[in-house]
Amino acid sequence: MNYRKFGEVFSDELYIDFSDDSYIEQCVYDVYKRIHCPGSNVVIRPFAEGIYVGALNKNGQRHGFGTNYYKVNLKKSGVYQGMFVNGRKEGLGKYTNRRNDIYIGAFKDDKKEGHGRLTMENGSNYVGFFLDDKFHGLGTYQSSKGDLPVYTGTFENDAVNGDGTMQYADGSEYNGSFRNGNFHGAGSYQSCNGDTYIGEMFNHQFHGEGMLKYSNGFEYNGFFEKGHFRGKGAYKTKDGDSYEGQFEDHVFHGEGKMVYTNGDVFDGRWKDGKPIDGTRVYANRDTYSGQWKNDLRHDSKGNFMFPTGDTYERRPISRWEEKWQRNLHVCKWWEVRRSLVRWRSTRIRSQRMC
C-alpha cells in the first residue's frame, strides 16, 4: 500500500492511503495496536470525513475520548485527539491541521472555544481565548518574525480590538485602545528614543486631546489632528520659552501668547510660526504694540511706549507722504554733507593760520 504521512498521532506516525477505503480500518487498527496494549476495547469506525478511533455512545456517535483522522481533501483535514460529545468535538483536545498548525485547548460544538494555544507552522503562536474558531477575548499573539510586535490584550473576531499592549522589537510600546489592529481611543505611546505621548488616538495617529513630551525637553499639551498640532494648545521649549494659543500644522498660527525666558512677553496674532500683529512687553518694561515682519518690529506701523510713559507713535502714511519724507531725508543728507565740508574747510584754514 502507498501510505500518506499524515501527522503525529499517539507519539508515533500514521500512514494512511485514503484513495481506497477498504484499507482504512485495518491501517488504523494496526497502528493503534502497535502503540497500545493488545486486546484494548477500542471501536474503529469509518465516517464520511475520515476514520474515528475511540468511544461511542449508544447511538453510535463519537462520545468520550477518541481520535479522528480527517481526509486530506476536506477543509478541516488533519488529526484531532480529545473529547467528543454526541459526535462533535467538545472539551479538551489537540488538533493538527494539514499545514501542521497545532491547537491544544478547549472545544465546543466542533469548534475552538475557550482557552487554548495555537502554534503555527511558521513559528507564530497565540495563547488566549477563542470563540467560533477565532481569537476572541484576552490573549497574546507573537509573530515568528522578530521585527513584528508582540500584542497582549483583547481580540474580537480574529482582530486586535479593545484594550491591550503592543510591544515593538525596537523598544517602542503602546498601551491603550485598539480598533481593527490600529491605535484608536485613549492610550499612551513611548517611542524607542524616549518621546512619550498620552492622549487620544485615531486610526494609528495622534488625534484629539493629548500631551506629547520629547526626550530633548520640548513639550506640547493640546489638540492634535492626524498627528499634527492643530487647534488650541500649549508648547514649551527646552530653554523654557512657553507658548499658549492656536496651532496649525505644528506651528503657531492664530491668537497666542509667548512668554520668553528673558522676561519678554508677546501677546497677539501669529502666522506660520511668526508674530504678525500684537503687543510685546520687554523685560525692561518697554512696550511695543503694532505689526511685525520677519520676527522684527515693523516700526512704521506701531507704537512704542517707555516705562516713563513717553510714547513714540508712528501712524500709517500715504504713498505721497512716504515719497516726500524720502526726498526730505535725501535733502537732509546733503545738508549734513555740506556742513561736514564747511567744517573741514574751517579746520584746514585754522591750521594754516597757526
Model confidence band, residue 108 (pLDDT cutoffs 50, 70, 90): very high
Round to whole Å and give the CA distance between 94 and 11.
13
Q: Report residue 16 as a C-alpha cell.
A: 494512511
pLDDT at 10: 33
43 vs 101, 170, 276, CA distance in Å? Answer: 27, 55, 90
The residue to which cell 543728507 is assigned: 333
Mean pLDDT of all residues in 159-170: 93
Q: Report residue 179 as a C-alpha cell.
A: 480598533
pLDDT at 75: 66
- How many beta carbons lie within 10 A of that of residue 94, not counting itself? 18
Across 282-294, b (16+ Cβ under 10 Å) vs e yields eeeeebbbbbbee
Closest CA to 6 of 135, 113, 99: 99
pLDDT at 297: 80
Round to whole Å and give the CA distance between 306 and 313.
11
Phi-psi group of 240: left, alpha or beta (phi > 0 → left; psi -120 to 50 → alpha; rest → beta): left
Task: Give 25-61 as a 3 state SS string.
Answer: HHHHHHHHHHHCCCCCCCEEEEECCEEEEEEECCCCC
- Is the pLDDT at 292 greater than 90, yes or no? no
Domain range annotation of the chain:
1-98, 318-354
The residue to which cell 504694540 is assigned: 289
Round to whole Å and give the CA distance between 108 and 90.
4
- Angle among Cα 31, 65, 42 to the nearest 5 degrees reads 45
Model confidence band, residue 307 (pLDDT cutoffs 50, 70, 90): confident
The H or E element spanning position 326 is helix 319-353
Model confidence band, residue 252 (pLDDT cutoffs 50, 70, 90): very high
Query: Which range is least confidently modeled, 18-22, 94-98, 280-284, 309-313?
Result: 18-22
